[in-house]
Amino acid sequence: MLNDYSTAKKLLATRRSGKASQLEAPGPSETDLLWILEIAMRVPDHGKLAPWRFFIVGKKERSALNALFEAALKAEKPNADKKNYEKMNKLAHSAPCLVVVLAKVDKKSSVPIFEQHLSAGAACMNLLLAAHSLGFVGNWLTGWAAFSPTVIKSFGGEEGDLIAGFIFLGTEEKDIEERKRPDVKDIVHKWKSKNKE
């Protein structure tokens, strides 16, 4: 039986990112957020390894997050200037809701690490779509902090683990303009074998 997926189609066709620094309250309630994270986990996962962890960084923890970024900059980027510190401070305090997605890999598994990272990326994408379905706007960012060993370690990351994203959620007052998308004709190709027998 064919289901009516018109609402889902509209949802998929309208998701857009906002700017983390412009996201305002309301963010998702605790109940909303738990549902969003349930959906985030509903991703293909080779080997059923669940190679992702979600860290909710509440508003009260944002100063501590900024302190962590500062400590990481100090330790790993001695030439960092005022602008670098300001950028990290802005990131730490952006949006009413922040989820840090850690790609937590199983190095002993036969499933390649790359596939485990892909699953973590898929979790980030599902998270954004779930938030969009509830009317929230998201922004998936990485930047310097996501690759900092100090920051990764503080989220429980070990060797091979990476921060897949800082996912900011909130509300945008104005409608977000659509951005230019690649033309499907430039991206999609019909593969033809060069092996003419």
- Annotated binding-site members for FMN: 15-17, 42, 46, 140-142
Coarse DSSP helix, strand, coil percentages of the chain, rounded to the nearest 5 percent: 45, 15, 40
Pick from 56, 142, 156, 158: which binds ligand FMN (CB under 6 A)? 142
Pick from 26, 58, 135, 143: which binds ligand FMN (CB under 6 A)? 143
Residue in this structure with the two tokens 């950028």, named with its chain if needed: 87
Rounded to an integer, what distance in angstroms lies between the CA atom of residue 172 and that of residue 181? 21
Rounded to an integer, what distance in angstroms lies between the CA atom of residue 146 and that of residue 193? 40
Tell me if 167 sits within 8 A of 98, measured CB to CB. yes
Q: Which is nearer to ligand FMN, 52 or 140 (CB)?
A: 140
Q: Which stretch binds ligand FMN (CB under 6 A): 6-14, 42-50, 52-60, 138-146?
A: 138-146
Judged by CB under 6 A, the number of residues near ligand FMN is 9
- Applying the rule CB under 6 A, the residues between 23 and 82 that interact with ligand FMN are none
Q: Which stretch binds ligand FMN (CB under 6 A): 37-45, 54-62, 140-148, 149-157?
A: 140-148
Pick from 73, 165, 170, 171: which binds ligand FMN (CB under 6 A)? 165
Q: Which of 179, 163, 97, 80 is nearest to 134 (CA)?
A: 97
Q: Is 156 in the site for ligand FMN (CB under 6 A)?
A: no
Q: Which is nearer to ligand FMN, 179 or 192 (CB)?
A: 179
What is the DSSP secondary structure assignment for residue 135, as one 8-state letter?
T
Pick from 141, 150, 154, 155: which binds ligand FMN (CB under 6 A)? 141
Sign of the alpha-carbon dihedral angle for 42, 48, 51, 56: positive
Q: Is 17 in the site for ligand FMN (CB under 6 A)?
A: yes
DSSP labels, 32-71: HHHHHHHHHT-S--TTS---EEEEE--GGGHHHHHHHHHH
- Least CB distance from residue 166 to ligand FMN, whole Å? 8
Report the interface residues with ligand FMN, using CB under 6 A: 16-17, 139-143, 165, 179
